[in-house]
Amino acid sequence: MDLKLLDVEPTEAERVVVDLFTGMGRDQLLPALHAVNDRVGWISQGALNHICRVLHIPPAEAYGVASFYSLFSLTERPAKVVHVCVDLACQVNGAKALCDRLTDELGPAGAKSGWLRSPCLGVCEKAPAALAFEAGEVAKEQLLAPTHAGEVIAVAAAGSSRSDDGRAEMPQAGSPGLRLLKRVGVVDPESLDDYRATGGYTALRTALLLGPSGVIREVTDAKLMGRGGAAFPTGRKWDATARQPVRPHYLVCNADESEPGTFKDRLLMEGDPFAVIESMTIAGFAAGCSKGYLYLRGEYPRALHLLRNAIAKARERNFLGENIMGHEGFSFDIEIRRGAGAYICGEETAIFNSIEGFRGEPRSKPPFPVEQGLFGKPTVVNNVETLVNVPVILTEGCEAYTRIGTSGSTGPKLFCLSGNVSRPGVYEVPFGTTLGALLELAGGVPPGRELRAVLLGGAAGGFVRPDELDLPLTLEDARAAGTTLGSGVVLVLDDTADLGSFLVRIAAFFRDESCGQCVPCRIGTVRQEEAMHRLVGKRPLSTSAQDLQLLREVGQVMRDSSICGLGQTAWNAIESALDRLGYAEEATS
Amino acid sequence: MTIVEIGLPKRLVELTLDGESVRVPEGATILDACTAVGKSIPTLCYGDTLKPANACRVCMVEVEGSRTLVPSCSRKVEPGMVVRTESERTRHSRKLVLELLGSATDLSTTPHVDEWMSACGADPSRFGPDAETKLQPTTVDNPLYVRDYGKCIMCYKCVDACGDQWQNSFAISVAGRGFDARISTEFATPLPESACVYCGNCIEVCPTGALSFKREHDKRQDGTWDESKQSQTTTICTFCGVGCNLTLHVQDNEIVKVTSPHESTVTHGNLCIKGRFGWQHVQNR
């Protein structure tokens, strides 16, 4: 293929960082775009052109990919940009007032003013949050959480004197009985020795003794279900992949945690990065993969640094690489891939396209990932939390594991509490804990307020009412109650929360994050947002009842006919607010 | 003589289609099965010479046991499958997809869409006068093509025809995301500066008239385009030795468009710039 390139050259700085990719292929497109963005803050025509020359990619396709991600800009912007979260938990905690002040003082969000509105940054326990990226010879980033307008303005202008390192709040740190979070906030996340001193790598040793089929049997018998939202049995996924005669097999750890209100995986990766690496190694061993990709959302710089450190140290000590822990013939290594601002890339097939250097659009299933996944090969895709359950299963045994939780939902579960709650944070409880007990653990709503509603499972989840607090948090009880645990979001709204604008934000989120591939989602999410604006603003098309009818019809086609889970669930939360919380009545009265 | 590839005999798969038992060769799609029994399913992004893009979602049907509806153009039949093409859910989906498309894009030159809309009672105007649309001015930046992206439904067919499925020019791609997604060259540079080789294969597959030949576009503009007065004659291109079939569309003794039969084993409907546009000399009188 002869490439026709634009007649534009890169700057010297751009050329230097792009030339490092010489000899590599299409799958390095996203890393190359990141390299340019880290160096100069945006992707110029010359830089994109040079990426295309070096990686041998048609410029139109590279442009299509670069324009897919919201963290990249194809027009000039300053080296430093502050992304201000306007999503659910931050909205509840004053993001709107913050943005209003920024608009007054810095000008409207955009390249000129140096600040941008951002979807959920995954720091919901410290809302409102902002994240500054500064391009340069050494790219810098700074998490501001919780923040205020004055700080964002100061950071956008120069620097900030903020002394904390963006560490997560961890209300349960050091509590006895924790399994998934036992090291978080207690053990030095940079030290492999500390990790090993607290039981690290004993599970991998057990796995190597059990053999791949033994590991799969343990995980299957433990009845481990995926924690990313779909709750698919992990053992079955591994087994189906392991049985595929085609080689190689791949493992993808889905750390593109972007569901609004979700931040559990960030806590695990920042607080216990070696556990993520060990768990991936065990999964790779079981499913016959020699390479694992850790797809990390671009908004998690702290997790990125800690995971890079963990991988480097694991390699040094032969916990990654060839003949791991002396086990002849078992080789496995991990490559981190940074996302660049696209919720859809957490979809299990969109993640493949993103890694391969294509637009992060979901693929049609079948074929399923276990048959044809990354690079067309059998692939296991697991969420971070799912994976870190595996060492627990192997060290405690599958029988002990199944005694945690209920018979239909085994093991410990992480929940992300945020919104109007006294002690927001990630909480580990056994499946079966009631919603009320979990809220109590987090201190309930602030004093003097009353609970209005709880959003379970995130923007793709559903609301429950204050009279439903006795709901046991299990997959089966949630299903029976017509709701979902999703990715473990428990976003609390009290009587001060503005439910209408909360719902409009949910609609806006799906519109912004739709990849645009299929009609029901691409246009349906826009019509849903328009109708929500009318409904909430009491400016109906003719009557609010008609707008409700439109919403229901559009919601149905998105659910029935969208390609992937994004479109299929884009109507869930709004539907539950209308029917379960009675917002339909409120809006039409 | 046309060479027809017969291939190995295929096992027949039996399925239930709208209550009737149907047998089709293994590997056939639900759409193939519908076509075989004379059932017409609307399609837009489906192309007989392209791999299914699964994007437009007008051909969705209900398959028993499936949580969501499935695209009939790509889903392969399985033994015992129970398919419903006229169920309540299917009809609702078809109607809404057409309404959503019609509310955002100009479908005035999309064949059959009026029949489909009236068959299911679709009314794109019910999203209100302020519904956001993709309407935009027509792009004319070269003497051969017109790109009217207000009519584009993002079916991916032009991108696939330009890319690895046929032409391997990769001049265009889908850019942006969500409702902002669009067909574009790199940085939206004009076509003459892009990798475009003017084969016209994108226009051949465009289902809505968003892409058209300049000649056709001009004649439509001045009201002289009249398909009822056109004859079609298939001949062989004389430019090189490949032997592509050309179908000359002639109106008032003048060539107004050149296509190629999709079933031609030489072209599969594709041509190069010479076959597609190199006919002016014929009309030098």
pLDDT score at B284: 84
Torsion, Cα B79 B82 B86 B88, to 10 degrees, reads -150
pLDDT at A1 over 90: no
Torsion, Cα B187 B191 B194 B195, to 10 degrees, reads 130
The values of phi and psi at residue B231, to 5°, are: -110, 155
Across A110-114, A282-286, A475-479, B226-230, least confident range: A110-114
Whether A522 sits inside 8 A of B154 (CB atoms) is yes
The values of phi and psi at residue A148, to 5°, are: -145, 165
CA distance A25 to chain B (A): 17
Whether B170 sits inside 8 A of A516 (CB atoms) is no
pLDDT score at A121: 97
For residue B20, the cross-strand partners are: B17
Residue among B89, B178, B194 whose CB faces A516 most closely: B178
Tokens 């006229």, residue located: B86
Task: Order the strands of the A425-430 sheet from edge to edge.
Answer: A425-430, A412-419, A489-494, A451-456, A462-464
Quick one: tokens of B9?
A: 């005999």
ipTM of the complex, rounded to two decimals:
0.96
| Nearest chain B residue to A569, by CA | B68
Scan residues 335-374 of A and list those with Cβ closer than 8 Å to B.
342, 359, 364
pLDDT score at B285: 76
Name the DSSP class of A224. -
Residues of A in contact with B101 (CB under 8 A): 519, 523
Neighbours of A549 (CB within 10 A): 13
Q: Which of A522, A535, A563, A564 is most worth mutating to test chain B (most B CB atoms within 10 A of its CB)?
A: A522
Whether B168 sits inside 8 A of A516 (CB atoms) is no
pLDDT score at B4: 64
Q: Which H or E element spans position A399?
A: helix A398-402
For residue A437, give Cα distances in angstroms to A72, A172, A457, A471.
Answer: 42, 15, 17, 10
**Kindly report the CA angle at A89 between A87 and A92, in degrees rounded to 5?**
100
CA distance A126 to chain B (A): 29
SS3 B61: strand
For residue B17, the cross-strand partners are: B20, B83
Query: Does any CB of chain B come closer than 8 Å to the CB of residue A533?
Result: no
Residues of B in contact with A557 (CB under 8 A): 92-93, 96-97, 100
SS3 A84: strand
User: pLDDT for A492-543, tens place per residue?
Assistant: 999 999 999 999 999 999 999 999 999 999 999 999 999 999 999 999 999 9
Quick one: tokens of A92?
A: 């509840």
Query: Does any CB of chain A come closer than 8 Å to the CB of residue B193?
Result: yes
Tell me how far apart the alpha carbons of residues A18 and A32 are, in angstroms, rounded to a whole number: 6
Task: Order the strands of the B254-259 sheet from edge to edge.
Answer: B230-236, B245-251, B254-259
Residue partners of A93: CB distance under 8 A and separation at least 6: A127, A128, A146, A419
pLDDT score at A226: 96
Please enumerate, as own/partner, the contacts of A196-201 that have beta carbons within 8 Å and a separation of 24 or more: A199/A395, A200/A274, A200/A275, A200/A278, A201/A278, A201/A319, A201/A325
Mean pLDDT (chain A, rounded): 96
Q: Which residues of chain B have pLDDT under 50?
A: none
| Alpha carbon B198 to chain centroid, angstroms | 18
E-strand ranges in A407-486 read 412-419, 425-430, 451-456, 462-464
Residues of A in contact with B174 (CB under 8 A): 64, 359, 516
The values of phi and psi at residue A437, to 5°, are: -65, -35
Residues of A in contact with B55 (CB under 8 A): 517-519, 563
Identify whether the C-beta of residue A408 lies closer than 8 Å to the C-beta of residue A401.
Answer: no
Name the DSSP class of B109. T
pLDDT at A166 over 80: no
**Kindly report the CA angle at A582 between A581 and A586, in degrees rounded to 5?**
130
Tell me how far apart the alpha carbons of residues A317 and A195 are, in angstroms, rounded to a whole number: 13
SS3 A394: helix
Whether B176 sits inside 8 A of A67 (CB atoms) is yes
Query: Does any CB of chain A come closer than 8 Å to the CB of residue B167?
Result: no
Tell me how far apart the alpha carbons of residues B169 and B63 are, in angstroms, rounded to a whole number: 38
Whether B178 sits inside 8 A of A514 (CB atoms) is yes
Query: Does any CB of chain A come closer than 8 Å to the CB of residue B180?
Result: yes
What is the model's pTM? 0.96
Q: Structural domains in chain B?
A: 10-130 (3.10.20.740), 145-283 (2.20.25.90)
Query: Does any CB of chain B come closer than 8 Å to the CB of residue A68?
Result: yes
Name the DSSP class of A410. B
pLDDT at A157 over 80: yes
Scan residues 36-65 of A and list those with Cβ closer than 8 Å to B.
45, 48, 58-64
Query: Does any CB of chain A come closer than 8 Å to the CB of residue B168?
Result: yes
CA distance A83 to chain B (A): 19
Q: By percentage, how much of chain A surpasses pLDDT 90?
A: 94
Query: Does any CB of chain A come closer than 8 Å to the CB of residue B256?
Result: no
User: pLDDT for A305-363, tens place per residue?
Assistant: 999 999 999 999 999 999 999 999 999 999 999 999 999 999 999 999 999 999 999 99
Number of residues assigned to chain B: 285
Quick one: tokens of B32?
A: 């193939």
User: pLDDT for A47-71, tens place per residue?
Assistant: 999 999 999 999 999 999 999 999 9
Whether A519 sits inside 8 A of B100 (CB atoms) is yes
Q: Which of A48, A67, A359 is most worth mutating to test chain B (most B CB atoms within 10 A of its CB)?
A: A67
| Nearest chain A residue to B53, by CA | A364
pLDDT at A420 over 60: yes
Whether A518 sits inside 8 A of B130 (CB atoms) is no
